[in-house]
Structure 1
Amino acid sequence: MVSNAPHAVAEVVASVPFTLTSSDIVADQRAPLSLVFDQNDCKGGNRSPQLSWHNAPANTQSFAVTIFDPDAPGRGWWHWAVAGIPASVVKLPSNASASGFLRKIGAVESRNDFDIDGYAGPCPPQGKPHRYIITVYALKSADLRLRQSSPSLMFEHEIRTTALSSAQLVVTYGR
């Protein structure tokens, strides 16, 4: 019976899910003004959210984060894509995009659908609130062949082809 104990523990550890949390947002709630875009009709802080992830697969080589609005007209709207986050990094501070934190750790950011490099917060048209899907990906590669300012769709393709696992949070915002 003693020889079965380690096996039972291994099964419990293996079933722990990869998760994403944030001290800046509450899942399925309205995004705070600090994260909202700060151009055009939107007047927010435009700060990328604090994010922490837990229980990534053991063979993770790097991480990527995206924020996508599936409710925008057409194919949706990319607000942020960042890749090349080292496997040793398991959290991003608030405002990681504008503060230079991502550059310091060697990560690269896409050009979002506002035609800006880095993070651009929620700013939907007047009407029904939109959902913003925040996803962290555990990747099986540390080299995605992505450069700063490449389009978000290019980031999405490279991220998805190397993803081992992902975790999500969803927030909403409407005007």
Structure 2
Amino acid sequence: MNKALLVLLTLASFSSHAFEVSSSDIHEGQLMNSKFTFSGMGCTGDNISPQLSWKDAPKGTKSFAITVFDPDAPTGSGWWHWLALNIPANVHSIEQGSAMKNTLQTKNDFGTMSYGGACPPEGDGMHRYQYTVWALPQEKIDLPADISPAVVGYTLNSMALDKAVLTATFVR
């Protein structure tokens, strides 16, 4: 093996840390507990947000955002369950049931400015819930709280330094 290539591969293995999100409450690809599901629209959960932790944010991160999105909702455009912005860069976790005080929570597809748990239509099969933590280059995103969730998603995608996704599932 070429010496230069070997050195390059060795350096890459020491310096690559991927931005990650994890949870003690929900797990990648697994069914989530009903306490994290919505209370209303035929669903009988506790509507509690799960605990989330993240690490290895990219250099230059000045704030975070958390979104929860169901790409399987039978709407043609998915379903936004939670949009929390302007989380300070020194925060690396939220507790179960966090109210996300001192952040900007914009309107979700339930019409509230808070966490809205999973609530797929009965008999619609398995749905995926993408819990995404976004690393952002600005301390604050100045958007109105009642803005469309799609505009928030567009804004985050256009400016994010990186994002980490944890996908849980639910079915009724």
2:118 aligns with 122
Moved more, 137-146 or 81-90: 137-146
Pick closer, same or farther for the CA change 1:13–1:96 going to 2, 3 Å: farther
Pick closer, same or farther for the CA change 1:26–1:147 going to 2, 3 Å: same
Pick closer, same or farther for the CA change 1:150–1:96 going to 2, 3 Å: farther
- What displacement does 1:109 show? 0.7
TM-score calculated relative to the size of structure 1: 0.87
TM-score calculated relative to the size of structure 2: 0.88
Q: Supply the AA of the counterpart residue of 2:146.
A: S
2:82 aligns with 80
1:148 aligns with 145
Q: Supply the AA of the counterpart residue of 1:171.
A: A
- What displacement does 1:141 show? 1.1
**Is 1:174 paired with 2:171?**
yes
- What displacement does 1:116 show? 1.2
How many residues are paired up? 163
1:3 aligns with none
Q: Supply the AA of the counterpart residue of 1:47.
A: I
**1:132 match: secondary structure:** strand
Residue of structure 2 aligned with 1:93, choices 68, 92, 95: 95
**Is 1:107 paired with 2:103?**
yes
Moved more, 23-32 or 142-151: 142-151
1:23 aligns with 24
Q: Supply the AA of the counterpart residue of 1:110.
A: T
Q: Identity of aligned pairs, percent?
A: 39
Runs ≥4 residues deviating over 2 A: 7-14, 147-151
Q: CA RMSD in A?
A: 1.7
1:4 aligns with none
2:136 aligns with 139
- What displacement does 1:54 show? 0.6
- What displacement does 1:13 show? 4.6
**2:158 match: secondary structure:** helix
**Would the aligned equivalents of 1:136 and 1:168 in 2 still touch at CA under 8 Å?**
yes
Pick closer, same or farther for the CA change 1:119–1:23 going to 2, 3 Å: same
- Distance in 2, matches of 1:13 and 1:64, equals 28
Give the unaligned 5+ runs of structure 1. Answer: 1-6
**Would the aligned equivalents of 1:144 and 1:159 in 2 still touch at CA under 8 Å?**
no
**2:21 match: secondary structure:** strand
